[in-house]
Amino acid sequence: MSSAPRPSRAPLRCRALSLALDGPPRFMGILNVTDDSFFDGGRHLALDSALARARQLVAEGADLLDIGGQSTRPGYVEISEAEEISRTVPVLRALAAEFPCLPLSIDTYKPAVAAAALAAGAHLLNDIHGLQGPGGPALARLAAESGAAVVIMHHDPELRETPDADPLPAVLSWLRRSLDLAAVAGLPADRLALDPGIGFGKTQPQNLALLARLDAFHALGQPLLLGISRKSVIAHVCPGLEPGERLEGTLALTALAVSQGVQLHRVHDVQANRRAALVATALAGVRASL
């Protein structure tokens, strides 16, 4: 029998909502209201367009939505807090009214944006700096005071300075430090999810090494979220593919992640990924029974 740690099956509490994780994989639909995101930048800047896209993601089976107004693609240009708020808050407010039982995430590392998003109805804070950026302490306090959940993503550029070393121990250690910071701020474990941060501050071999051993992250005892949708990690394996051509690679990685017990998947294409996950889940169930 495998000695790999078992995935956490406890629900993720998000303010007044709760996201069950003891069933099929869950899908976080990506809604970028930006002008420069690597795949869909500029498509959903207008409120009507953003809401139409959100409705499409929900119709495809999204279990929660992640709204982002600041692109974090390689070479991104940082916008002001005011601009990020003006992009995201109207969308969040409208979605909270239309889908009151749907968890809404704000993809930001800026406390002022997070505070405005929470006031507009957001339930989760998705922090690419894992509470270890300059705004980390304030984000942790906001989550603790509001009851919001937090997605803690690994993002440590120093990892690239040791390209020949196994990245897993360093990433696990970094995430443990984030969990300690969350605990100090008063955030209970049932409001925390972890993201290994594929594509952030990592070499291609490091990305692949982590993707091959996602099940090792279950040792941290928290739900896992994976964001690999249409990322350049796929283009490195299949040279020359533009973001619009990376769906098949995304589906392969989603199936791999499901087979390793990853419960949450942040994707652009909800329906296709859900179908891939259903097949992978069925195979995993048969394998477990053998």
Residues designated as active site: 231, 266
Q: What is the dihedral of CA 83, 87, 89, 91, to 10 degrees?
A: 180
Instruction: List, in order, residues 6 or more apart from 157 with CB less than 8 Å away.
Output: 201
Q: Are 108 and 127 in contact (CB under 8 A)?
A: yes
If phi > 0 it is left, if psi is from -120 to 50 it is alpha, else beta; for residue 107 that is beta
Looking up tokens 């922090």 gives 127
The two structure tokens encoding residue 9: 């099956």
Name which of 62, 65, 9 is nearest 274 in CA terms. 62
| Among 227, 235, 221, 223, CA closest to 254 | 227
CB atoms within 10 A of CB 124: 29
Q: What are phi and psi of 85, to 5 degrees?
A: -65, -45
